[in-house]
Structure 1
Amino acid sequence: MCRTYRVVLAASAALLLQPLATAAQGGVSEDPSRRPRPALIAPRAASALLLDVARSGKGGVVAGARGNILLSADGRDWQQVAVPVDATLTRLHFFDERHGWAVGYDGTLLRTEDGGSTWTLLQFDPDWGRPYFDLHFFDRDHGLLVGANGSLLATNDGGRTLSPIESEAFEDQPNLYNLVALGDGSLLIAGERGFLARSRDRGASWQRLRSPYTGSYFGALPIGQSGVLVFGLRGNAFYAADLDAVEPLSAEALQALRDAALDPGAASSGASPVTEVSGWRALASEQVESLFDALVTADGRVLLVGMNGHVMQADLDGGRLVRLPVVPDNNMNAGIADGDALIVVGTAGVQRVALP
């Protein structure tokens, strides 16, 4: 399942009084019990469930369950910081070394302007209750958020207000898990039920792409100018050297997906078939553990991390994945390269993993 689906669903009280912008799905509840509560400062926050890790200048930032956010200057010692909400945080995004955002459950959107030391709550909607799974900012003001049930929203003021983007590409309402910018500046969203969609106008319009897989994609890694590696459920990974060579879905195929989403009797049997689709190459693997994140190391290796300590090296030219022998066997939700090691987050918190 998706890394955020595996979650079981001492800051200042003044943080609770900050004015909140109204989220696109609804406003902040007047019920005091539904107002945001600050994350607790916990001595074991670094070993609790964490879902994402990002660079902030020369340091690192991690985030996860119960609103936990921690910083490190060296990737080894981690210090928790005050956060004005205790909702589970699913993704971090930094535009530069100071300006960043975090998203999560209950429609949560946070912003930092000092590299992650302090956070401001911009959006919170427990009545909507569902999560944002990813975000991308083009500059300090303009950005996009994606989330549950085909949610796609835009902001022009750094996240203080959000506006929904309507597109027939999302009408079957899949969960949208990952949003990345390719080398040519176009955008790609990967999600459940084999969802892949591309935008060439900074998210204003979207084109659904033919997919070689009907299971969930949990992530995408840009490769070169217009290449991309997509990956997800049961260790499946597919490489397109040039996404321009991948055909869009026909109007008939898109309508069939909408009809299936509206038909309760069309529920999946659990099978997720792989098919040959022009432009995509399946990467052969003997492993079936789901993959949640991918990165490029300093020496140019493409690595993927996932369940039960699986770290896979991608041979894009050879069309295969090879497992690397690493020590941890816990689930790894995300990772970044740090010299000759990885900094990974998952069910065991944040860890430094030496690479062979």
Structure 2
Amino acid sequence: MKAKFASLLPLLGVLVALPVVAAGLPDRLERPSRMTPLAAQSQLTDLQRVGDDMVMVGASGHVLVHGAGGSLKQSQVPVDLLLTAVHFVDDKFGWAVGHDGVILHSTDAGKSWSKQLDGRAIGKLMLDWAESEVARLEEASAAAPDDEALSTALDNAYFAVDDARAGVEAGPSRPLLDVWFRSAQEGWAVGAYGMIVHTRDGGQNWTFVSTLENPERLHLNTVLGLADGSLLVAGEGGRVHRSSDGGQTWEPVRKLTDASLYKLLQVADGRLLALGFGGTLLLSRDQGQNWQSVTLPVRASLYGADELSDGTLLLVGQGGVLLVSQDGQDFKRWQAPGKTALLGVASFSQEVLALVGNDGLQFLSRAVLTEQLQ
């Protein structure tokens, strides 16, 4: 397995050694991120255009805001741990998630952040849910002692309680890997070992989502709301989960590929992309009901994607690969000189792209990109 942090490099959510990391630095959730002039050269994992600015997140709780005029400022952040994803619903309100189950919130376009949730609180949410399930199923089983389905469900609930208690005792060791908000009030965050949390009040209160069937507790790497109002979650082992009612119920799980999926993107014309391990790229033209595989000129794992205002599609990934397409079918390759992983891409201006990855922030002229495409 590979991971989206520091020395384990950059896949979005196939994680190892997390209890060691969490146990070794239990105070990371309480220690503010250190201000450093080198933040832009350290690992950055995700970015988003917010108004005229670019907001980036990454290692050691770093959040950077790059202004259109060229200013680059590091934000005050209350935690010192890897942030894995950022999502703004408008030019003010945004959320970032990361290791130890942390969820951060900004109301000023990323200039300042507060902590809304962490792994300790998530562990308590999971334990409360599991204990309530045991109580409910014990009562139902007592009324129908010969019901084998109830008996099996009760055994699973006992296991869930034991697992949740072990998680609480171990501390906040489960990272969140992606976050998406439908509005300034409602959003979801997903992460390792099948974790999903949901809020309806802008993050003041969160609930543990128990309705997604994932008995293997596979990692959930990416979450996205679609234009038709449905919610899509994808992750380890090529599984895709779909809900049409905000996560209350889910359609039967679909396995699109053996390769883990790290990113979902819906482009302006409604097409849906799913990208991931080993150069996997899947395309849907019907809101994720049917998918087709797209052949790429590389087998590099893909971690980030964006659509430019003119419809150009950009994919970035392992080894500094950047793929460019005008139609979502035929891709050309650009190679970053350093060949370290690129984790995110976005348009900084009409002429310049912003790239983030293990070597931090870099800019690429679209003119240079066009000249050097293979």
1:346 aligned to which of 348, 357, 362: 357
What is the one-letter code of the residue matched to 1:54?
Q
Cα deviation for residue 121 of structure 1 reads 1.1
Which residue of structure 2 aligns with residue 131 of structure 1?
Answer: 175
2:53 aligned to which of 59, 78, 83: 59
Spell out, residue by residue over 1:176-222, the C-alpha distance to the aligned partner (whole angstroms, 9 max, x if none): 11111222222211101111111111222222443331111010111
SS in structure 1 of the partner of residue 323 of structure 2: strand
Which residue of structure 1 aligns with residue 153 of structure 2?
Answer: none
Which residue of structure 2 aligns with residue 199 of structure 1?
Answer: 243
Cα deviation for residue 5 of structure 1 reads 4.5
In the TM superposition, 1:19-168 aligns within 5 A as: 33=27, 36-74=30-68, 76-125=70-119, 127-168=171-212
More displaced 10-residue stretch of structure 1: 302-311 or 73-82: 73-82
Cα deviation for residue 231 of structure 1 reads 0.7
2:316 aligned to which of 305, 309, 317: 305
Which residue of structure 2 aligns with residue 269 of structure 1?
Answer: none
Query: Percentage identity across aligned positions?
Result: 31
Give me the TM-score of the superposition, normalised by structure 2. Answer: 0.75
1:227 aligned to which of 271, 277, 300: 271
Which residue of structure 2 aligns with residue 253 of structure 1?
Answer: none
1:296 aligned to which of 307, 319, 334: 307
Preserved CA contact (<8 Å) 2:303 2:344: yes
Which residue of structure 2 aligns with residue 211 of structure 1?
Answer: 255
CA distance change for structure 1 residues 329 and 99 in 2, over 3 Å: closer, same or farther? same
What is the one-letter code of the residue matched to 1:332?
L
In 2: Cα distance, 1:32 partner to 1:311 partner: 37
In 1: Cα distance, 2:296 partner to 2:311 partner: 20
1:332 aligned to which of 339, 342, 353: 342
Which residue of structure 2 aligns with residue 322 of structure 1?
Answer: 332
SS in structure 2 of the partner of residue 324 of structure 1: strand
Cα deviation for residue 325 of structure 1 reads 5.2
Provide structure 2 residue ranges, at least 5 long, that are not aligned to the other structure: 10-22, 121-170
Cα deviation for residue 282 of structure 1 reads 1.2
SS in structure 1 of the partner of residue 78 of structure 2: coil
SS in structure 2 of the partner of residue 42 of structure 1: coil
Preserved CA contact (<8 Å) 1:54 1:61: yes
Which residue of structure 1 aligns with residue 218 of structure 2?
Answer: 174
In 2: Cα distance, 1:346 partner to 1:34 partner: 22
In 2: Cα distance, 1:301 partner to 1:56 partner: 20
More displaced 10-residue stretch of structure 1: 222-231 or 340-349: 222-231
In 1: Cα distance, 2:8 partner to 2:295 partner: 33
More displaced 10-residue stretch of structure 1: 199-208 or 176-185: 199-208
CA distance change for structure 1 residues 224 and 71 in 2, over 3 Å: closer, same or farther? closer
Spell out, residue by residue over 1:101-149, the C-alpha distance to the aligned partner (whole angstroms, 9 max, x if none): 1110011111111111111111123612111111111222221111111
Rg: which structure is higher? 2
Cα deviation for residue 34 of structure 1 reads 6.9
What is the one-letter code of the residue matched to 1:173?
R
Cα deviation for residue 33 of structure 1 reads 4.7
What is the one-letter code of the residue matched to 2:334?
L
What is the one-letter code of the residue matched to 2:265?
L
In 2: Cα distance, 1:46 partner to 1:314 partner: 28
Preserved CA contact (<8 Å) 2:277 2:300: yes
Cα deviation for residue 233 of structure 1 reads 0.4
What is the one-letter code of the residue matched to 2:99?
Y
